[in-house]
Amino acid sequence: MKSNKNKSTMNRREFNKSLVTIAAGTPFLIPGDLVPKTLIKPENQDRRNEQPAMSYRKLGRTNFRCSRLVFGCGAALTGGKAVRLLDHAFEAGINYYDCGSETIYKGSEQSFAPFMKANRDHIWVTSKAPIDDSLQDDPVGTEQAKEAARTWTALLDESLKSLQTEYVDAYFLMNIKSWSLISSEEVYNAFLDAKSAGKVGYFGLATHKNANKVLEAAIDNGWYDLAMIGITPAGFYDWSTREIEKDTASLKELQPLLKKARDTGIGLIGMKSVRLLAPMTAGGKADETAFDKYYDKRFLESSLNPFQRAYAYILENGLDVVNADMQNFTHLEENIEAAASSNTYFD
């Protein structure tokens, strides 16, 4: 995420100092979801590493109370990059770390393994298995579904080996565009077998193509606990074109669909939310004003920079949490602020 100079920016020393000050008991105004666990103790909620510097939301039917900012480990940790950020993220109260198969993100899971081992009881860890387009016809064939199931199972086992663990909290089908594939019993049975074997807790899908139909199918079959979707203030994001998905409704207009998913028990995780704003991921066509028309005057005039605004907006308009790829301290700091304060900008 590109940094804009603004009043919210701290250096690393100031950031760490702020966390220490909070921990020491200095009075701190905690809006809404930021109330620490010592003050509210709902029954049967899975609470991990909750800190006053972060806000939290129960993630669907999982009962896991998730930091509203998810640390995206895939690209960030490829080749060991950004490993230095993990401890800072943990100190700020980020308790969900999302990895990806080594077939896509070389060295990412291996780089994450030592941090995971040191903090396992205090964090949620997930990873994802990429499913090839050749297996994603609509309707999908039986043999395609069987191969997709075998792929998911084999990559789960490889991820567990790379992460040096026997269990992950959730494992996703990645790069999903086929509504019929995620409704195939072959794929679902692969998850049930892995869960019975104690390898995984919950089932998820990740999509940034044909997201509307994919999400509707997940709502209808009721098999998926989590959905990670490419979404922006302008609507669904299409990774294949690096553009807003053709004919998508805006995020505001997608509220009924997102609410239906949440009511079904699906935890909604936003991703790819600022890609249009960043030159490296927008094909050189980045536009920091791309989402401005979706914001009211008050929000547009806030001290948040364009990247922070996009994250805060989707968090307050239908998404439970947002997954961000953070590769330097400034981006981490800015995203923490956006996630922790998003509710203060909306009535």
Which domains occur in the chain, in start order?
12-345 (3.20.20.100)
Angle at Cα 297 formed by Cα 291 and Cα 302, nearest 5°?
A: 80
DSSP H helices in 164-288: 185-196, 211-221, 255-264
Place of tokens 């602020």: 337
Number of neighbours of residue 79 by Cβ within 10 angstroms: 13
| Distance from C-alpha of 257 to C-alpha of 250, rounded to nearest angstrom | 12
Q: Which pLDDT does position 81 carry in this prediction?
A: 81
This model's pTM is above 0.75: yes
Amino acid identity of 275? R
For 65, the 3-state DSSP assignment is strand
Q: Which pLDDT does position 278 carry in this prediction?
A: 84
Q: Which pLDDT does position 332 carry in this prediction?
A: 96
Q: 243: burial class by Cβ within 10 Å (0-12, 13-18, 19+)?
A: middle
Q: Which pLDDT does position 31 carry in this prediction?
A: 39
Q: 75: burial class by Cβ within 10 Å (0-12, 13-18, 19+)?
A: middle
User: Could you report the average pLDDT of every consecutive run of 10 residues in the chain (347 residues)?
Assistant: 41 46 38 40 81 96 97 92 95 98 95 97 98 96 98 98 98 97 98 98 97 98 98 96 94 98 98 86 74 96 96 98 94 96 92
For 204, the 3-state DSSP assignment is strand
| Beta strands per DSSP E along the chain | 56-58, 65-67, 69-72, 96-98, 124-130, 168-174, 200-207, 226-232, 235-238, 243-244, 267-271, 321-324
